[in-house]
Amino acid sequence: MILLLTPEESFVPFLQGLVGDTVEISRKWDPAWRDAQPIEVVQSTVVPVPDVVIVGPTVPESVALEWAGAFDREHPEIGRLIIAPATPDLLMGAMRLGVREVVPPNASGDQIREAVDRLLGAAARLRSAMPSNETASVSTNRVISVLSAKGGSGKTVVATNLALGLNEVAPGGVVLVDLDIQFGDCGSTMNLEPEQTLTDAALNASVLDATTLKVFLTPHPSGLFLLGPPQSLVDAAEVTSQQVKAILDLLVGIFEYVVIDTSSGIDDHAITAMEFSTDLVLLSSSEVPSVRAMSRHVETLDTIGMTRQERHFVVNRAGTRVGLRTSDIEQTVGLQACVEIPSSRQVVMSTNQGAPIIHSAPKDPAARAMQELVDRFVPEQAEDSRAKRGWKGKR
Whether the pLDDT of residue 114 is over 80: the answer is yes
Whether the pLDDT of residue 186 is over 50: the answer is yes
Residue range 282-293: mean pLDDT, rounded: 90
Residue range 162-183: mean pLDDT, rounded: 91
Quickly state the pLDDT bin for 385 (edges 50, 70, 90): very low
Angle at Cα 178 formed by Cα 296 and Cα 125, nearest 5°? 80
Task: Decide: residue 200, CB within 10 A, 0-12 exposed, 13-18 middle, 19+ buried.
Answer: middle
List C-alpha distances in Å: 393 to 126, 169, 357, 376.
32, 10, 10, 15
Tell me: cis bond preceding 57? Omega within 30 of 0 counts. yes
Instruction: Work out the angle between the directed axes of helices 109-129 and 11-19 (0-180°, nearest 10).
Output: 60
Predicted local distance difference test score (pLDDT) of residue 394: 36
Predicted local distance difference test score (pLDDT) of residue 287: 87
d(CA 236, CA 218): 18
Task: Decide: residue 381, CB within 10 A, 0-12 exposed, 13-18 middle, 19+ buried.
Answer: exposed
Within 8 A by CB and 6+ apart from 267, the residues are none
What is the DSSP-derived secondary structure letter of residue 5? E
Whether the pLDDT of residue 134 is over 50: the answer is no
Chain CA centroid to CA 382, Å: 24
| DSSP bridge partners of 314 | 283, 339
Predicted local distance difference test score (pLDDT) of residue 130: 46
% the chain with pLDDT above 70:
90
C-beta neighbour count of 92 within 10 angstroms? 12
Q: Which of 53-67, 236-250, 373-387 has the lowest mean pLDDT?
A: 373-387
Domains defined along the chain, listed by start: 2-129 (3.40.50.2300), 142-388 (3.40.50.300)
